A and B are shown apart, each in its own frame.
Chain A
Amino acid sequence: MSVSKTVSRRRLRVCLAMMVGVFGVFGARLFQIQGLDASAYAAKAVEAGTKTSTVPAPRGAILDRNGAQLATSVDGMTLTADPSMTSAYAPQIARILREKLGSRIDYFDTIDKLRTPKSKFVYLARDVPAWTAKKALTAIAKANMTGVFSEKETLRTYPGGKLAANLLGYVNGSGKGVAGIEQEYDKTLTGTDGTSTYEVDPNTGARIPMADSTVTKMVPGRDVKTTIDRDLQWYADQRLADAVRESSSDWGLAITMDTKTCQIVQMSQAPTFNADDRTGMTDSNTVSRGVQNVYEPGSVMKTVTMAALADQGKIASDTPIVVPSGMDIDNFHIGDYWEHGVLHLTAAGVIAKSSNLGTIVASQQMSNSVMYNYFRKFGFGQKSGVNLPGESDGILKNGKDWTKANHATIAFGQGVSVTALQMVRAVGAIANAGKMCEPSVVSSTTGADGKQAKVAAKPSKRVVSKDAAATVTRMMEAVTAPDGTAPAAAIKGYRVAGKTGTAWRVDPATGRYIRGQNTVSFMGFAPADNPRFLTYIVLDKPYSNAGGGSTAAPVFHDIMSMALERFGVAPTGSKSPKVAQTW
C-alpha cells in the first residue's frame, strides 16, 4: 500500500512539475509576446490586415489666357513583361503591341525584349496613354496570351504639340518640371499626394466594410494660367517656322507683348520640339532662346540710344546731324551698310535709314557713364524679371571700362549682348510712354476649390520722359514709311513704329565677328499713337544678304496684324506726322 502511494505521489509531483514547466514556458512566451515584442507583433498584425495606397495628386494644368489647355495630365501606363512567360509567343504579342501602340514601340526590338533570356521583368513601353495601353492589354488577353503587365502612372500631355513648347517646358520621367513654366511653377503645379489606409481581408485582400480607415487628403496641384493667347501663339509658331525655313536661318524668335501690362501674349521659337510625343528634344531645340540665348542686337539698340539722348533734351526728331562717310575709332573702321558720302540727315532720318555713323555722332554728346547708366536703366546686363528659369543677364561692360570704340559700337547695338526679352522690355518702355515694366507670362493660379490667386504685376518705373518716348516713337514711325528701311512692316490703316536690326554674329569659339553671318531682327509696336502691342522678330544666321527690313519685317507685319485683329485693336484713325529725314 505504502509503496503504491509513494509511486503515485511521485508521479503526481512529476506531472505537476511538468505542468508547471509547460505553463512556465507558455507564460514566458506570453510575456515575450505581450510584454516585450508587443508593438512589433501588433504592427505585423496591422500590416497583414491593412492596405495603404497612395492617392496621387494630379499635376495642375497650364492654361492660356482664355482657359484653353496648353498642358494637362492624364492617366498613363507603363507596359512590362515577364519574358519567361512571353518568349514562346513573342512575335504574336509584338504584333498586337505594334498594332495598338503604333510608333511607340519597335516590332523587332519588342520581340527581343519579350525573349530576354533568364529574365522575369522587362519594360516594353513607357508613357502610354491609359486608353491605348488598355486596348493593347485587352487584345493580348483576348488572344489568350499572358505575361504582359501594366503599371499606372501619370502622363503629361501637351494637346498643342509644338505650341509654345519652349515657353511651357516639359517634365522629366518622374513628372518633375525641368524647363520653362513647368520648371518655374513646379511647386505650384505639383499637388500633395494623399494616402488611404483601410483594413482588408488577409486572404482575399478585399476591403472589410465598415472597418476602420484613415485617409490623408490629397491636394491636387494648382492650375497655372498664362498670358499666352493660344491661337495667336499657333499663328506665330507657323509664320515664324515658315520664315526660318525660307531664310535658311539657324533659329528664329517671335515675341509679342502687351505694352500696357507687359504680358507676353505669344513667344515663339523655331525650330522647336514636341513635348507631347517627345520628338525633336535636342539641346538646341529645347533651350528657351527668348531668355537664355544672348546675341548682339544691332540697330534695334539705336532706339535706346536715341531715347537716352532725347531724355536729356539733346535730340529731337528733326535735329540736324552731319553723317560722315566713314569713321576710324581706335583703329577700327566703322561704316554704314550702304556706301555714301557726307550726309545731312535729321535724327529721324538716322533711325529711318539706320545709319550707324549718324548714331555715333549723336551718341558722342553723352559721356561713357551717362550712356552706361541709361543702358542700365533700360535693363541691359540684368535679368528681365520674367518668371522663367535659366534667364541670362546678357553682357554690358561697365561704362568705366569702355573704350572709344565700345562707346561707338554699343550705341548701335554691337559690343553689347542681350536676350530677346531684355530688348522687348527696353523698347516696351518707349512704347509705354517712358515707363518700363517687367514682362510676365503667368497671370494667376487656381486651386481645385476654384479660388484664384493673382500673380502680382511688379510696378513699372520711369526710364525716360514721356516726351522723349514720343520723340523716339516718331523717329521709329519713319522706319515703316515707304522711304524707310522696313516698309514691309507697315500695316494698312495703322500707324506702326519700328526698327530693323542687322547685327554681325559673333563666333562663340573665337569671340570674333564672322564676315557674312548676321542676326537680323525687327522690333515694332502699334498703333504708334496709342501702343497696345509690341512684336519682336529675330532670325539668326539667315542667307547672307538677308536684312531686318526684308526678312524679319514681313513676319512682324503678319503676326502684329493677327494680334491687333484678335484683340480687337482698331486703328486710331490719326495720320503719321511727316518728319523730315534730311536737311
Chain B
Amino acid sequence: MSQLASAAASFQRIAANPRGVPQSAKAAGLRLVRPVRSRARKAPFVAVVLTVLSVGLVGLIVMSTVLQAQSFESQRLDRQAAELETQQQLLSREVDRLQSPANVARRAIAYGMVPNTNPAFLRLSDGKVLGKPEAAKPGNTNIRSVTP
C-alpha cells in the first residue's frame, strides 16, 4: 500500500513535471506492475444495450408497419377519391342536363308555359311601363316543342 501511495505521489510529480518522467521514475525506483482488474459490473451494461437494441428494433418494426399500413390506406383513399370524382362528374353532368335550357324549356312547355315574344319592362323608380306588354298566348308562340 505504501508502495502504491509513493507511486501515486511520484505520478503526481510526473504530472506536475512531465519532462522529468524517466529520471524521476528511476529515481523513485518504479517498475511495471500488472494493470488493476476492473471490477465493474457487466449486467447493467448488457441490459442497457439490449434495451436500446430491442427498443430500436421494435420501433423500427412498428414504424415500418405503420408506414406500410398508411401506404395501403393511402392507396385505398386514392381509389376512393377516384371513385368519388367519377361520381361527382356523373352528378354534375346530371345537374347540367337538368338545368340545360332544353330541359327547362321542355318542362315549362309541359306546364303550359309559352315564350314571351313581346318584351316589355316595368321601371321601378316611377312605375312606368316601357314597351307594349302583350300577354303571350299558347297559340301565338314560336316554340311549341323542344327538338332534341
- Closest beta carbon of chain B to A186's beta carbon, Å: 23
Q: A463: CB under 8 A from chain B?
A: no
| Given known A-B contacts A131-B90, A230-B101, A562-B115, A492 and B142 have beta carbons under 8 A apart | no
- As a 0/1 sequence over residues 103 to 135 of chain B, the CB contacts with chain A under 8 angstroms (1 = contact) are 001000000000111111101000000111010
Contact A494 B96 (CB under 8 A): no
How many Å lie between the Cα of A557 and that of B146 in the bound state? 19
Chain A residues near B70 (CB-CB < 8 A)? 209
Q: B86: CB under 8 A from chain A?
A: yes
| Given known A-B contacts A494-B131, A561-B118, A571-B130, A239 and B97 have beta carbons under 8 A apart | no
Contact B85 A75 (CB under 8 A): yes
Chain A residues near B121 (CB-CB < 8 A)? 568, 570-571
- Closest beta carbon of chain A to B38's beta carbon, Å: 44
Chain A residues near B117 (CB-CB < 8 A)? 557-558, 561-562
- Closest beta carbon of chain A to B147's beta carbon, Å: 6
Q: Which of A161, A230, A554, A564 contacts B119 (CB 8 A)?
A: A564
Q: B6: CB under 8 A from chain A?
A: no
Beyond known contacts A492-B118, A561-B117: 11 more, CB 8 A cutoff: A74-B93, A75-B89, A131-B90, A206-B75, A207-B74, A491-B118, A492-B134, A561-B119, A562-B117, A570-B121, A571-B131
How many Å lie between the Cα of A69 and that of B130 in the bound state? 33
Chain B residues 74-98 with CB under 8 Å of chain A are 74-75, 85-87, 89-90, 93, 96-97
Chain B residues near A60 (CB-CB < 8 A)? none
Q: Describe A's contact surface by its main secondary structure.
A: mixed
| Given known A-B contacts A206-B75, A210-B67, A562-B115, A161 and B148 have beta carbons under 8 A apart | yes
Chain A residues near B12 (CB-CB < 8 A)? none
How many Å lie between the Cα of A227 and that of B72 in the bound state? 48
- Closest beta carbon of chain B to A367's beta carbon, Å: 45
How many Å lie between the Cα of A494 and that of B148 in the bound state? 32
How many Å lie between the Cα of A131 and that of B115 in the bound state? 36
Q: Which of B90, B116, B131 contacts A129 (CB 8 A)?
A: B90
Q: B54: CB under 8 A from chain A?
A: no
Q: A482: CB under 8 A from chain B?
A: no
Q: B71: CB under 8 A from chain A?
A: yes
| Given known A-B contacts A69-B96, A159-B97, A209-B68, A565 and B116 have beta carbons under 8 A apart | yes
How many Å lie between the Cα of A494 and that of B71 in the bound state? 69
Q: Which of A75, A235, A239 contacts B101 (CB 8 A)?
A: A235
Of chain A, the residue at the smallest CB distance from B143 is A238
Contact A242 B143 (CB under 8 A): yes
Contact A160 B85 (CB under 8 A): no
Chain A residues near B131 (CB-CB < 8 A)? 492-494, 570-571
Interface-centre pick from B72, B105, B117, B120 (highest chain A CB count, 10 A): B117
Chain A residues near B143 (CB-CB < 8 A)? 235, 238-239, 242
Q: A421: CB under 8 A from chain B?
A: no
